[in-house]
Structure 1
């Protein structure tokens, strides 16, 4: 669940979540107008794309619940991602493909969800039945395969010819009931399945009893959903129908406690409680499941967290919940910060409201104290109170997720009050940060501390504990100076991709910011087999960056320019050389480097958000303005600079070339100057508008 606000706010957050699901994000890093995580620790706003192993307000409620569940006895380990990352990706933890155990209670509980599995089970039972003649066996299997229901319309019973044996007639009757069920004729389906209660075949007997219950659930839901699959508020379900469904489900579960459909029946029972808005019994069912080891629940942890979130937490309040884990998840949602400037969606929970819940956390004081500390940090902004509430327990062999979160919060508070022991505290956490997602988060804390302590070299020292590629590469891209970039580009101990990132960043920044003479020297670092083409908008992919483009990159024919290395030599001799500045602009334009990630400043409170040690970002527009004002520039060079500067604003009137923008009146002046002073130039003749 994304929040606990009104319907409009919930709709907006749902849209945001869907957008995040569809945009392709580089290692959860960035995306054009997409979902971008906050590379920071002290975060309480929900974005939907930066969940971490620290239980807290920023996380999706399903992630917080999953982490709390992972600390329960008998819990399976959280699935590890393919590569270590600061951010958890719930999509990679979802139900494995082909695992359909919980499908019958998912979504709207459609009868059409089970046709494929039902067909396979029927065939297996027919083949195993010893009393069936082979000819009838083949007829029944063919008839079941022919049953391909379309739940939007009536389904005809399959034609079954000349099945006369007792077992054969029983299986044929089952197919008649299945056709009625898939066709929505629940009265007929119920009669047929009830008539098989005494069937001799054990599969038929059990399955028919289960289907009696499933028919009752589907009958109760008739006309309950709108065209979008959401429950209709104006179509409450008759209590008698829900009671019939519950009785049938409990009857099956009592008769077959180890049955093939026990877990499905239990899921449908939860569905009955949800349909009847019986939140107390629904919560009790979830609490009973949480008390079981993962292997005995019949539903994986990720799917269970999803179901609890959708079916219970979405409509719960602090007054309706009794379980401390579920209540904690709700409380954390109510401590979220604004999602955007001016966001006043939801009032945050007060300390007094939390204190009123203390009795419900009597059996879990560590969790309650953590909630108080989270409130102190993210709502009350009292880091000293956090340090008082959570004692130093950083020396542990293997942190559970709750204790890890408690210690992370203490570390955030130490950083917030400028405690000189903060770095040592983070270092102490590392040995015990063994579970999925924990170590990268501690590494982020160490890296941010060293970055702000002007000790970036520690992150890249041979014995550095910071190993997560994303963290190291962000610092190289946005903060590192030429010396550190050159060191990592040359380092045989650095991972190959890190060397590629360091070299690409070094060459780009030297080419656009200088020293230009160093670019000429460092171009020799490009490996012989390095690509000249390839993607460089996503630095965090596994592919090598095309560092050879600085030697062999594409050019435009609009303006006659030498290879980039010759342009850099001219700039090394005179950094305001008009022709060289224009050719540098052509290189940037040809490679679509305007607004490039390496020229983009990150937020000050995030990793990589301190000022770059490599000087100011490049601006093509500023280069054109230098040429316009240069006494050394030729008329053609000035005309081209005016032409290109005006085109920086084409076609929408926004500056796409970086640097400080200028008013429309200034661009009009450039246009007039081009037409007046250089009327015979190609550029004056081509340009018909200004923007």
Structure 2
């Protein structure tokens, strides 16, 4: 163990990997094998070789490490390989599909999201957490997160279901109304987990693509001199990002309170008859 760690500290990555692999091949018992798998895990995770984690010939056989790779380390190519591989178990396929959908949405990779969405089980809406028992459907990922029916902001601003929305976004990724609707999904109960994943992806992103932040969408709408209803709603939502704690929960860059005051004055001055302007009492 000491020699292996010294090789790691000296930056001799390849030598360290070969050293751990040698011990893994000679390991005796579950405890020794588990130890050397743990040492090899970061090497294999860095290489993004899904075959090292799935199937009967996998080098990493610990279920917890296999799951950790899928949940935290696998990039889009590795995840889709796991989803499509005959060597993957049903649990691995489902977890990989869930993470593909989740992370591709966060990174605005709508093409990948749409490719993965059609692979959802037909009863995906049933795959959800029970709020009383805290158990999920058949102990599988909550695929119901992606079954969103859309919403109606105003008669003129209506958002379609999530799959219809992402299909449109694939062709028009900069469309402000469509991006606003993605923000509405992120605000919904189904989109609750997106905020958590966004924070993690900012730290250790494995996926390609800019991370979605609904707060930035509101700022873009305000700057674009959009139609009145759209701008008024964006002003309202920009301010509400800081409600009620004064801390931003919209995943974009923080702004000074003076900027929020400008937004507050803007909506009160230019859109006083809207329900959004009338409901605002603070700018936090």
Pairwise same-fold verdict (TM > 0.5): yes
Note closer, same or farther for the CA distance 1:598–1:495 as it changes in structure 2 (3 Å cut).
farther
| TM, length-normalised to structure 1 | 0.36
SS at 2:242's partner residue? coil
Corresponding residue number in structure 2 for 1:469: 63
* In 2, Cα distance between equivalents of 1:539 and 1:426: 38
Q: Quote how far apart the aligned CAs of 1:422 are.
A: 0.8
Note closer, same or farther for the CA distance 1:562–1:531 as it changes in structure 2 (3 Å cut).
closer
Q: Quote how far apart the aligned CAs of 1:622 are.
A: 1.8
Q: Does residue 625 of structure 1 match 2:219?
A: yes
Note closer, same or farther for the CA distance 1:518–1:598 as it changes in structure 2 (3 Å cut).
same
Corresponding residue number in structure 1 for 2:228: 635
Q: Does residue 421 of structure 1 match 2:19?
A: no
Q: Contact 1:624 / 1:642 at 8 angstroms: preserved in 2? A: yes
In the TM superposition, what whole-angstrom CA distance separates every residue of 1:255-286 from its partner, at most 9, and x where no partner exists? xxxxxxxxxxxxxxxxxxxxxxxxxxxxxxxx
SS at 1:449's partner residue? helix
| TM, length-normalised to structure 2 | 0.83
In structure 2, which of residues 41, 52, 66 is the aligned counterpart of residue 459 of structure 1?
52
Corresponding residue number in structure 1 for 2:200: 600
Corresponding residue number in structure 1 for 2:173: 575
Q: Does residue 650 of structure 1 match 2:206?
A: no
Q: Does residue 561 of structure 1 match 2:162?
A: no
* In 2, Cα distance between equivalents of 1:533 and 1:540: 7
SS at 2:122's partner residue? coil
* In 2, Cα distance between equivalents of 1:473 and 1:435: 18
In structure 2, which of residues 247, 250, 259 is the aligned counterpart of residue 666 of structure 1?
259
* In 2, Cα distance between equivalents of 1:448 and 1:502: 19
In the TM superposition, what whole-angstrom CA distance separates every residue of 1:629-681 from its partner, at most 9, and x where no partner exists? 235x4221222122112111111111112132222112212212222232232
Q: Quote how far apart the aligned CAs of 1:563 are.
A: 0.5
Q: What is the aligned residue count?
A: 274
* In 2, Cα distance between equivalents of 1:497 and 1:602: 27
Corresponding residue number in structure 2 for 1:516: 110
Could you say what the CA RMSD is over the residues aligned between the two structures, in angstroms? 3.0
Corresponding residue number in structure 2 for 1:546: 142
In the TM superposition, what whole-angstrom CA distance separates every residue of 1:367-426 from its partner, at most 9, and x where no partner exists? xxxxxxxxxxxxxxxxxxxxxxxxxxxxxxxxxxxxxxxx2x322221111223111111
Q: Quote how far apart the aligned CAs of 1:583 are.
A: 1.0
Q: Quote how far apart the aligned CAs of 1:532 are.
A: 4.1
Q: Does residue 686 of structure 1 match 2:282?
A: no
* In 2, Cα distance between equivalents of 1:439 and 1:665: 58
Structure 1 regions of 5+ residues with no counterpart? 1-406, 604-608
* In 1, Cα distance between equivalents of 2:213 and 2:68: 21
* In 2, Cα distance between equivalents of 1:598 and 1:540: 22
Q: Quote how far apart the aligned CAs of 1:602 are.
A: 8.7
* In 1, Cα distance between equivalents of 2:250 and 2:148: 19
In the TM superposition, what whole-angstrom CA distance separates every residue of 1:480-517 from its partner, at most 9, and x where no partner exists? 33222222122232122221221111112223323313
Q: Contact 1:481 / 1:613 at 8 angstroms: preserved in 2? A: yes
Structure 2 regions of 5+ residues with no counterpart? none
* In 2, Cα distance between equivalents of 1:483 and 1:637: 37
Q: Contact 1:509 / 1:614 at 8 angstroms: preserved in 2? A: no
- The residue correspondences of 1:390-401 to structure 2 (distance < 5 A) are none
Q: Contact 1:489 / 1:500 at 8 angstroms: preserved in 2? A: yes
Corresponding residue number in structure 2 for 1:534: 128
* In 2, Cα distance between equivalents of 1:445 and 1:525: 34
Corresponding residue number in structure 2 for 1:434: 29
Note closer, same or farther for the CA distance 1:450–1:523 as it changes in structure 2 (3 Å cut).
same
* In 2, Cα distance between equivalents of 1:528 and 1:594: 22
Structure having the higher Rg = 1
Structure number with higher helix proportion: 2
Q: Quote how far apart the aligned CAs of 1:433 are.
A: 5.1
